[in-house]
C-alpha cells in the first residue's frame, strides 16, 4: 500500500468524522487543557528542589494544594476529553456502517454471486467499530502523549534551546527505523486481514451448512479445514505483532544513544557555565518525560497500519460496482402486465456460453404462461432480466409496450411479485415476513394466508401471526416456508406474479388449494410459472418450451401434446412412458 493510498484512506475515514467535527474539536480542546498542565510538573519539581530546601521560602501547605489542584484540573480535562472523544467515535461508526449497508443494498447483482455473506457481515458490523476504535485510540494517544510532548518540547526550548536543538538530531534516524518496520508491518497486516476474512467465511459455511456437515459426519473434516485457516491467521498475526514489537526496542535504542549524548553535554555545560543543579534537573526531567511520551507515540504505528488495512477492505465494499439504474420513467400505477421479449440475448460475465440466445417470447396480460425446459435452459435467467437484475446483451424487453430499460428499477420491480426457487425468509414474525416492507393490513394478511393454505396452521401457532419464524424460517417445514413465500407474493398485489418452482415442496392437497386460490385471480394477474413437474402447468394458457436459451416450441398443453415434440416427450418421460 503506497502512502498515497494511506492518505486517501485517512481522508475517506475523515468524511465520516467530519459531520461530528465539533465533538472532535472539543476533544482536542479538552486534551489541550490537560496538556497545558504538563510542563507545570517539572517546573514544580525544579522549584521544590531549588527553593524548597531554603528555610522560609514558601509555606509547605502550598505543595499539596498546588499538586492536588494540578491533578484535579488534569482529571477534569481528561474525563471531558474521553467522553467527547467517544461521543464522536460512536456517531462516526454509526455513519460509517450506514454507508456500508447502503452500498451493500445497492450492489450489482453480479457482486452478490462473488461475495461470501460472512465477508459482508464482518465488513459492515465489525470492521467500522474496529477501525474507528483503533483510530480513536491512536487519536487519544496523540492527544494524551503528543500534545504534552509538544508542550514539553516548547518548554525544553525555553529552558535550553541549544541542547534541545541538539536532541532533535536523532529524529531523522528514528523516522528511518520506523519506516522500515512499518513497511513490514503493513504487508503482514494485509495478509492477516485477508486470512481473517477466510476464517469468517469458514464459520459462516459451517453454520449455514450444519445439516450437511452432520449428515456427512464431516465435523472432523471441517475442524481440520478451520484449523488450517486459523493457523494461517495466527501465523500472520504473530508476524505482524513481531514487526510491531520491534518498533519500540529499535526506536528506544536510537533514543538511548541520543539521550546519553545529550545528558553528557548537559552535564558538561552545567560544569563549565556553572548553571547549577536546578537548571540541570529541570532540563533532564523534562527530557525524560518527553522521551516517555515519544515512546508511547512510537507504539501507534502498529494500530495505525492495522486500521488502514481494515479500512481499505471496507472501502472496497463501498466501491464495488453498484446496480445501474438509468431508467427514469415511472409507471403511474399497476401495469396491465403484458410482457414481451424480443431477440433477447444474455451471457453472464465469465460464462462460456449464452444463457439466453436470441429469445423471443411473450407473457400475455391476465394469462398464465408456463416456462418449461431442461435444467440450465435459461428459465431463471428470464426472471433475472424481467426484474432488471441484469441487462440483455441484445434485444428488448417490454412491459405494456414500454422498454423496461427506460423504467426506474423501483417502478419496474413494483410490478412483480416473485416466489423463487430458494425461499428466503427474514428472522421476524409471520406477519412481518408476509407484509414485508409494506404497510400492514390485517384483512389483506388474512386473505394472503388463506390463499396460501396457511391460515389454519398460523392460528395454531403460540402467538399467531406474530410468531417468529427463526433464521430463514428455520422453525418451519419446507412446505410451510414455501407457502409463506407464496403468501408474501400474494400480499404484494403486483400485476405480475412469478412462481419459480413455487409449489415443489407442497403436498398434493396444499398444492391444489394454492392453485384453486390462484384461479380466483385468473384474468386479473399475469402469472408466469416455472415448473419441472409438468402436471402442475397443464391448465396454463400458454406453455413456452426452452432449450439452450432458445424457444423450442410454444402452445397449450393439448396443442403441444398433439404436436408430439419436445414437450410431449417430456410429459411422457415424467409419466414413466418410453
Ligand X SMILES: Nc1ncnc2c1ncn2[C@@H]1O[C@H](COP(=O)(O)OP(=O)(O)OP(=O)(O)O)[C@@H](O)[C@H]1O
Binding site for ligand X (CB under 6 A): 113, 348, 351, 355, 373, 375-381
Residue 102 Cβ, how far from ligand X at the closest point, in Å? 23
Q: What is the DSSP string of 559-572?
A: HHHHHTSHHHHHHH
Rounded Cα gap, residues 369 and 576, in angstroms: 25
For cell 465435523, name the residue: 219
Shortest Cβ distance from residue 528 to ligand X (Å)?
Answer: 12
Q: How far apart are CA 6 and CA 135, in angstroms?
A: 13
Q: Dihedral through CA 564, CA 565, CA 571, CA 574, nearest 10?
A: 120
Question: How would you class 417 by CB atoms within 10 Å of its CB: exposed for 0-12, middle for 13-18, buried for 19 or more?
Answer: buried
Q: Which residues are paired to 500 by β-bridges? A: 530
Pick between residue 207 and residue 421 the one whose CB is nearest to ligand X.
421
Take residue 401 and report the three cell numbers written for it: 409496450
In the complex, the smallest distance separating the C-beta of residue 421 from ligand X, rounded to whole angstroms, is: 6
Smaller CB distance to ligand X: residue 112 or 216?
112
Q: Which is nearer to ligand X, 533 or 572 (CB)?
A: 533
Closest approach of Cβ 381 to ligand X, in Å? 3
H, E, C per residue of 260-278: HHHHHHHHHHHHHHCCHHH
Q: Within 13 Å and on the Cβ side, how many CA atoms surround 480?
A: 15
In sequence order, which residues have a C-beta less than 8 Å from that of residue 490 and are 6 or more positions away?
417, 447, 448, 451, 452, 497, 517
Cβ nearer to ligand X, comparing 194 with 323: 323
Q: How far is the CB of 194 from ligand X (least distance, A)?
A: 24
DSSP3 helix / strand / coil % (the chain, rounded to 5): 65, 10, 25
Residues with Cβ within 8 Å of residue 156, at least 6 apart in sequence: 163, 164, 167, 283, 286, 287, 290
* Smallest separation (angstroms) from ligand X to the CB of 426: 23
Q: Minimum distance from CB of 108 to ligand X (Å)? A: 11
Residue 36 or residue 552: which is nearer to ligand X going by CB? 552
Q: For residues 175 and 299, give the distance between their C-alpha atoms in angstroms, rounded to a whole number.
A: 13
Q: Which is nearer to ligand X, 260 or 353 (CB)?
A: 353
Nearer to ligand X, 17 or 377 (CB): 377
Question: What is the per-residue burial (b if ≥16 Cβ within 10 Å, else e) of 275-295?
Answer: eeeebbbbbbbbbebbbebbe
Given a contact cutoff of 8 angstroms between Cβ atoms, the answer to whether 567 and 543 are in contact is yes
Q: Which is nearer to ligand X, 375 or 508 (CB)?
A: 375
| Shortest Cβ 567–ligand X spacing (Å) | 15
Q: Which C-beta is closer to ligand X: that of 196 or that of 381?
A: 381
Give the shortest CB-136-to-ligand X separation in angstroms.
40
Cα-flanking dihedrals φ and ψ of residue 332, to 5°? Answer: -65, -30
**Which of residues 282 and 501 has its CB atom nearest to ligand X in the complex?**
501
Nearest-approach distance from CB 356 to ligand X, in angstroms: 8
Nearer Cβ to ligand X, position 379 or 481?
A: 379
C-alpha cell at 271: 560544569
CB of 515 to ligand X, least distance (A): 20
Radius of gyration of the chain measured on its C-alpha atoms: 35
Q: How far apart are CA 506 and CA 457, in angstroms?
A: 14
User: Where do the DSSP E strands lie in 294-367?
Assistant: 339-346, 356-363
Amino acid at each position: 500500500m503506497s502512502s498515497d493510498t494511506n492518505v486517501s484512506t485517512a481522508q475517506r475515514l475523515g468524511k465520516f468524522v467530519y459531520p461530528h467535527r465539533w465533538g472532535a474539536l472539543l476533544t482536542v480542546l479538552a486534551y489541550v487543557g490537560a496538556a497545558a498542565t504538563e510542563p507545570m510538573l517539572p517546573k514544580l519539581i525544579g522549584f521544590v528542589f531549588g527553593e524548597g530546601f531554603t528555610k522560609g521560602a514558601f509555606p509547605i501547605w502550598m505543595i499539596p494544594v498546588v499538586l492536588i489542584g494540578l491533578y484535579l484540573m488534569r482529571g477534569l480535562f481528561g474525563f471531558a476529553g474521553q467522553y467527547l472523544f467517544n461521543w464522536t467515535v460512536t456517531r462516526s461508526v454509526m455513519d460509517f456502517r450506514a454507508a456500508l449497508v447502503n452500498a451493500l443494498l445497492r450492489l450489482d447483482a453480479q457482486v452478490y454471486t462473488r461475495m461470501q455473506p460472512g465477508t459482508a457481515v464482518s465488513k459492515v458490523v465489525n470492521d467500522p467499530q474496529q477501525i474507528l476504535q483503533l483510530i480513536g485510540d491512536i487519536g487519544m494517544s496523540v492527544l494524551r502523549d503528543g500534545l504534552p510532548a509538544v508542550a514539553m518540547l516548547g518548554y525544553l526550548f525555553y529552558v535550553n534551546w541549544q541542547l534541545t536543538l541538539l536532541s532533535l538530531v536523532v529524529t531523522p534516524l528514528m523516522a528511518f527505523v520506523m519506516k522500515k518496520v512499518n513497511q513490514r508491518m503493513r504487508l503482514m497486516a494485509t495478509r492477516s486481514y485477508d486470512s481473517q476474512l477466510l476464517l469468517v467465511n469458514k464459520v459462516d459455511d459451517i453454520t449455514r451448512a450444519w445439516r450437511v456437515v452432520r449428515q456427512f459426519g464431516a465435523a472432523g473434516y471441517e475442524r481440520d479445514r478451520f484449523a488450517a485457516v486459523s493457523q494461517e491467521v495466527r501465523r500472520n498475526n504473530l508476524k505482524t505483532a513481531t514487526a510491531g514489537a520491534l518498533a519500540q526496542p529499535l526506536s528506544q535504542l536510537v533514543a538511548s544513544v541520543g539521550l546519553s549524548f545529550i545528558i553528557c553535554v548537559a552535564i558538561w555545560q552545567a560544569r563549565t557555565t556553572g548553571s547549577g543543579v536546578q537548571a540541570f534537573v529541570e532540563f533532564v526531567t523534562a527530557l525524560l518525560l518527553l522521551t516517555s511520551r515519544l515512546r508511547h507515540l512510537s507504539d501507534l504505528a502498529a494500530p495505525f497500519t492495522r486500521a488502514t488495512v481494515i479500512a481499505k477492505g471496507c472501502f472496497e465494499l463501498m466501491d464495488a460496482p453498484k446496480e445501474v439504474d438509468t431508467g427514469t420513467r415511472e409507471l403511474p400505477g399497476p401495469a396491465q402486465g403484458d410482457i414481451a421479449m424480443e431477440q433477447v440475448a444474455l451471457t453472464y460475465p465469465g460464462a462460456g456460453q449464452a444463457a439466453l440466445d436470441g429469445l423471443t417470447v411473450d407473457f400475455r396480460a391476465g394469462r398464465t404462461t408456463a416456462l418449461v425446459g431442461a435444467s440450465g435452459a435459461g428459465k431463471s435467467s428470464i426472471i433475472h432480466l424481467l426484474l432488471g437484475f441484469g441487462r440483455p446483451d441484445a434485444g428488448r424487453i417490454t412491459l405494456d409496450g414500454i422498454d423496461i430499460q427506460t423504467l426506474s428499477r423501483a417502478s419496474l420491480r413494483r410490478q412483480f411479485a416473485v416466489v423463487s426457487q430458494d425461499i428466503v425468509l427474514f428472522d421476524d414474525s409471520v406477519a412481518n415476513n408476509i407484509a414485508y416492507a409494506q404497510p400492514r393490513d390485517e384483512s389483506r394478511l388474512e386473505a394472503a394466508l388463506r390463499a396460501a393454505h396457511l391460515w389454519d396452521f398460523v392460528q395454531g401457532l403460540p402467538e399467531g401471526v406474530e410468531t417468529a419464524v427463526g433464521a430463514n424460517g428455520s422453525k418451519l417445514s419446507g412446505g410451510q416456508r414455501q407457502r409463506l413465500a407464496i403468501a408474501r407474493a400474494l400480499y404484494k398485489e403486483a400485476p405480475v406474479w412469478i412462481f419459480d418452482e413455487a409449489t415443489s415442496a407442497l403436498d398434493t392437497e396444499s398444492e391444489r388449494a394454492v392453485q384453486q386460490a390462484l384461479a380466483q385471480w385468473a384474468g386479473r394477474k399475469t402469472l408466469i410459472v416455472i415448473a419441472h413437474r409438468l402436471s402442475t402447468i397443464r391448465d396454463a394458457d400458454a406453455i413456452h418450451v426452452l432449450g439452450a436459451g432458445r424457444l423450442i416450441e410454444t402452445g397449450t398443453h393439448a396443442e403441444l401434446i398433439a404436436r408430439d415434440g419436445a414437450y410431449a416427450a417430456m410429459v411422457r418421460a415424467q409419466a414413466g412412458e418410453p
